[in-house]
């Protein structure tokens, strides 16, 4: 099933997060959608949002997790804490974590392994910068990120790959249909090579979602592209009507 993930990033306070979750919950309950829906609010509001959506088919996700189970890791939030807060998903390796917090692919792999121990579904993000794109390095950059971010604990049930070209996030820019198709096919092939190399058994293809300036006007076209299994939505997920319009088109 198509999966649509809302990444609220560092937006909405307590009241705003609850209002947004409540409005989406009510809209979906009144007129159900034909896709899997995941809301990813900020850490402090996970439990509160979980209570709102607990009676619906909407799932809860976090925007990151620590790479250790517990201990002296000030500021980190462990995967088990996310599970206790009602999470089923966690976003890992978003470009903003890679660039602003210096997270390497090796750290992301450790986080994914920790998340899988708690039965969380990991959404592992990959994407190239405008400079890498202009130098013709996009395919190689994505392959390197995948080879070093993917954990050996991965399965067809516990992992989603999110392709987000860094240069398209929040800019209004979007790759062409052919560029998205090429990259998603490339990711699919890279994952196949990785699981074959490490002897991991997959009966189904890995789910690959697209993110980067997704909105109600372009979502349907993007979802029609081969090997696009869903969407990771940023800014448009902060407006209930916009996000719901994406859901009903999925």
Residue located via tokens 């058994």: 201
What residues have CB less than 8 Å from 162, skipping those under 6 apart?
Answer: 5, 91, 123, 124, 125, 126, 208, 209, 210, 211, 232
Locate 64 and state its tokens: 């990151």
The 10 Å CB-count burial string (b at 16+, else e) for 131-158 is ebbeeeebeebbbebbeebbbebbeeeb
How far is residue 173's CA from residue 153's CA, in Å, rounded to a whole number?
35
CB 92 within 8 A of CB 112: yes
Active-site residue list:
94, 164
């Amino acid at each position: 099933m198509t999966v649509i993930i809302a990444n609220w990033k560092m937006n909405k306070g307590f009241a705003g997060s609850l209002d947004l979750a409540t409005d989406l919950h009510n809209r979906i309950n009144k007129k159900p959608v034909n896709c899997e829906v995941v809301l990813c609010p900020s850490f402090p509001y996970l439990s509160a949002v979980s209570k709102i959506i607990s009676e619906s088919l909407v799932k809860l996700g976090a925007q990151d997790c620590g790479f250790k189970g517990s201990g002296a890791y000030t500021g980190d939030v462990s995967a088990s804490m996310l599970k206790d807060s009602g999470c089923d998903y966690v976003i890992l390796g978003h470009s903003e974590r890679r660039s602003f917090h210096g997270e390497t692919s090796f750290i992301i792999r450790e986080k994914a392994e920790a998340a899988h121990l708690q039965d969380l579904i990991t959404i592992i993000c990959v994407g190239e910068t405008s400079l890498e794109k202009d130098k013709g390095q996009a395919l190689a950059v994505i392959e390197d990120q995948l080879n070093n971010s993917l954990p050996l604990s991965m399965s067809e049930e516990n992992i989603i790959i999110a392709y987000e070209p860094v240069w398209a996030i929040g800019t209004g820019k979007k790759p062409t249909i052919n560029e998205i198709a090429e990259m998603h096919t490339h990711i699919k092939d890279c994952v196949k090579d990785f699981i074959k190399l490490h002897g991991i058994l997959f009966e189904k293809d890995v789910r690959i979602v697209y993110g980067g300036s997704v909105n109600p006007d372009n979502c349907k076209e993007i979802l029609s592209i081969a090997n696009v299994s869903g969407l990771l939505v940023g800014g448009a997920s902060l407006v209930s009507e916009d996000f719901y319009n994406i859901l009903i088109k999925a």
